[in-house]
Amino acid sequence: MGNMRDFDACHDLWQREGKIPPNVNWKLSQFYETGDRRLGMLRYHISPASLFLWNMLMSEETRLHDARKNGRIIVGAMKDLGTIPVLMSAFENTTTFYPDGAWWLPCFKQRETNLLDRAAELGVGEGICPVRTMLAAFEDGYNWPIPDLLFSSVGAICDDFSAVVQRLHELGHTVHFWEIPHGRLAEAGENVYVNAQGKRIPWRYIELVAEEFQTIVQITETATHEKMNDAKLATAIREANHIRSLIHTLRMRVYASETPLFPALEMMVMEMFALHFCSDRIMCRAMLEQMVSELLDETQVLPVANSKRAPIFWVNPTADLYAMTLLEDCGARLAGTEFMFMHALDLIPEDLPPLQALAVAALSDLMTQTMDARAERILQDVQRFGARGIVVSRIPGASHCAFESKRIRDYIQQRTSIPLVDLEIESVCGGTSETLRTRLEALVESILN
């Protein structure tokens, strides 16, 4: 483990020795110096795969601008977290990303760019999730190229996002909305598809969402002048599943291990790559393969944790990445996660027509289902990874968090005695970090005792 400068010190050597690909050509301090000040606060896993990971994450904006220069169609997928990018990757000339990812900008920039204030000026102020930063990023246009196409799921989504994406549309960024119905329980006698997690999805919902995807395909065909077919879609699904399998391997080996190789911070970032492959599927695959290779080669680097650490399961992504570093500072290790996109980690069915398979993936999103369905999945994974404590981190202003943390707590405490704390983590948890530390330390203490 080390800091940004430790990483920089290894960069040239690893490049000379061929341990990192030639295109991993950024030093982390270069991002720091151009404004990503939070990087200076974080503690990293000093290994070639980790450097590859950080390079990919931090250079995404450059990659998107390059894609625009090279004439590729830039697609902004919003809210569905994991399905539209798979569909888009079937097209040869598209590059897809999630503008939702702007919610990390206040963290990376340590709020210095005032994106949250700018979002307030644009009509979406405090009280709404930091995803509202997206508005400022669109309007001011210096973070990424404005997408040629924008697709957002609506229906069973959180109120914050629904309001923000509507506002985006009003500001002149035309969004194509597609329906994701609430994942209700199937009625008696209703024709259903049972997904890999045992969820009974009404078949007519699958057909409805598949129809929405067909419309998205048609819109993209017009924009790209490329005809789509089932074979291309099936290949895209297989490729996505390969990436999901690599992430599965990493999660199983790291979260279930008493002495995990990769720390919480890198694991969180790595999981995020499942959403849209960080806008480059081929590079993403290479990076994940290097992570797996490092993981299997136990002589290469020392594990980050020892067996005396408290295994903690973490629910919800954190607006401030520093929370993951803090977790380990308090004597814990990450033993499982539920970052609101389990459906992007689960394999997409390969035994269905491709658009229906993608519809199943979208309808398997736990955020569109009942809170109990999500709590049950959390409980299963807590048991699978042997976690002994749970942290539910609330996202400031997010409409779902006010309900969920309480319901998840009730559900889990009715079934186990595993301690659970819920915390609110701001985009930059400067002033609150000591409170967070105290609460995390108390949780760790109660587990280890």
Q: Which stretch binds other proteins (CB under 8 A): 60-68, 76-84, 203-211, 228-236?
A: 203-211
- In whole angstroms, how close is the CB of 399 to other proteins at the nearest point? 5
Q: Among 166, 300, 383, 432, which residue sits at the site for other proteins (rule: CB under 8 A)?
A: 166
- DSSP states of 376-442 as a string? HHHHHHHHHHT--EEEEEEPTT-HHHHHHHHHHHHHHHTT----EEEEE--SS-TTTHHHHHHHHHH
How many of the chain's residues bind other proteins (CB under 8 A)? 46
- 84, 151, 319, 368 from 340: Cα distances, Å: 16, 19, 13, 10
Does 134 bind other proteins (CB under 8 A)? Our answer is: no
Q: Does 156 bind other proteins (CB under 8 A)?
A: yes
Contact characters 304-343, other proteins, x per CB under 8 A = ----------------------------------------
- Which of 284, 401 has the CB closer to other proteins? 401
201 contacts 212 by C-beta, under 8 angstroms: no
Site string for other proteins, 264-283 (x = CB under 8 A): --------------------
The SS3 call for residue 323 is: helix
Q: Which of 29, 162, 195, 245 binds other proteins (CB under 8 A)?
A: 162
157 versus 254: smaller Cβ distance to other proteins: 157
Give least dist CB 155 to other proteins, A. Answer: 4
Report yes or no: 266 and 44 within 8 Å, Cβ to Cβ.
Answer: yes
Residue from 36, 266, 280, 404 touching other proteins (CB under 8 A): that is 404
Give every CB contact of residue 19 below 8 A, 6+ residues apart in sequence. 48
Nearest-approach distance from CB 211 to other proteins, in angstroms: 6
Please check whether residue 432 is in contact with residue 339, taking contact to mean a CB–CB distance below 8 angstroms. no
Instruction: Write down the least CB distance from residue 416 to other proteins, Å.
Output: 17
Q: Which is nearer to other proteins, 43 or 374 (CB)?
A: 374
Options 51, 124, 131, 366; binder of other proteins; rule CB under 8 A: 124
Does residue 219 belong to the site contacting other proteins (CB under 8 A)? no
Phi and psi at 368, nearest 5°, equal: -95, -5
Figure out which of the listed residues 21, 35, 155, 419 binds other proteins, where binding follows CB under 8 A. Answer: 155
The answer to whether residue 302 forms part of the interface with other proteins (CB under 8 A) is no
Residues 360-389 that bind other proteins (CB under 8 A): 370-372
Assigned token pair, 437 = 């530390």
Three-state DSSP class for residue 58: helix
> What are the E-state strand segments in 233-376?
310-315, 332-338
Those residues whose C-beta lies under 8 Å from the C-beta of residue 14, and which sit 6 or more positions away, are 20, 48, 51
The minimum distance between CB 408 and other proteins, in angstroms, equals: 11
Among residues 5, 182, 238, 415, the one that binds other proteins under rule CB under 8 A: 182
Cβ nearer to other proteins, comparing 12 with 159:
159
d(CA 414, CA 328): 28
Structure token digits, residue 106: 């206040």
46 vs 120, beta carbon nearer other proteins:
120
Report whether 39 contacts 31 (CB < 8 A).
yes
In terms of CB distance, is 215 or 229 closer to other proteins?
215
Cβ neighbours of 230 (radius 10 Å): 11
Residue 77: strand pairing partners: 151
Q: Which is nearer to other proteins, 158 or 340 (CB)?
A: 158
CA distance 426 to 398: 11
Residues that bind other proteins (CB under 8 A): 122-124, 127-128, 152, 154-160, 162-167, 169-170, 175, 177-179, 181-182, 184, 187, 204, 208, 211-212, 215, 370-372, 397, 399-404, 407, 410
